[in-house]
Amino acid sequence: MQAPAAPVSTYVAQNRQNRIDRYGHELFSPPTGWPTAPVRCGVISDIEMPRMDGFTLTRNIREHPVLKDVPIVLFSSIVSRDNEKKGEQVGADAQIAKGNYRDLVATLAGIIRQRDHR
């Protein structure tokens, strides 16, 4: 199997539902020839989305037995103390205002580094 032209995240997203339907949960094995080094990942989510808001997504990830420890940063133009409290309640690791891309990258990288040293 050759690596798809699209980034891995797009490849996984396109095949996600088929894998969930088939296995009951998401499985991903890199195609032959792809690097197999451990992957450090995290979730960056907006709060306002059309089908599911970022708070619900975060809560669902935290309740998932495999994904529960994945770092989650909420990245939104709606920054308020109320949203920060909601984010904390559902288990978001941080909340960054849109436009602060350096803070976003630094925050997520810092959370991943912390988790690596546990």
- Look at residue 37 in the predicted model and tell me its pLDDT: 57
Helical segments of the chain, H only? 8-23, 54-63, 81-90, 101-116
pLDDT (tens digit, 9 = 90+) per residue, 28-37?
555 666 665 5
Provide the CA 100 distance to its chain's centre, in angstroms. 18
CA distance 94 to 84: 8
Which sequence spans correspond to the domains of the chain?
1-33, 40-116
Residue 65 has pLDDT above 80, yes or no: yes
Residue 105: pLDDT band with limits 50, 70, 90: confident
- Look at residue 58 in the predicted model and tell me its pLDDT: 95
- Look at residue 31 in the predicted model and tell me its pLDDT: 63
What is the pTM for the complete model shown? 0.67
Which one, of 42, 41, 13, 43, lies nearest residue 28 by Cα?
13
Which residues contact residue 42 at a Cβ distance below 8 angstroms, ignoring those fewer than 6 apart?
Answer: 70, 71, 72, 73, 108, 111, 112
pLDDT (tens digit, 9 = 90+) per residue, 75-91?
999 889 999 999 999 99
- Look at residue 34 in the predicted model and tell me its pLDDT: 63
Residue 70 has pLDDT above 70, yes or no: yes
Mean pLDDT, residues 39-49 taken together:
85
CA distance 49 to 100: 19
Domain range 40-116, its CATH number among 3.30.56.10, 2.30.33.40, 3.40.50.300, 3.40.50.2300: 3.40.50.2300
Q: What angle do CA 93, 117, 102 make, to 5 degrees?
A: 45
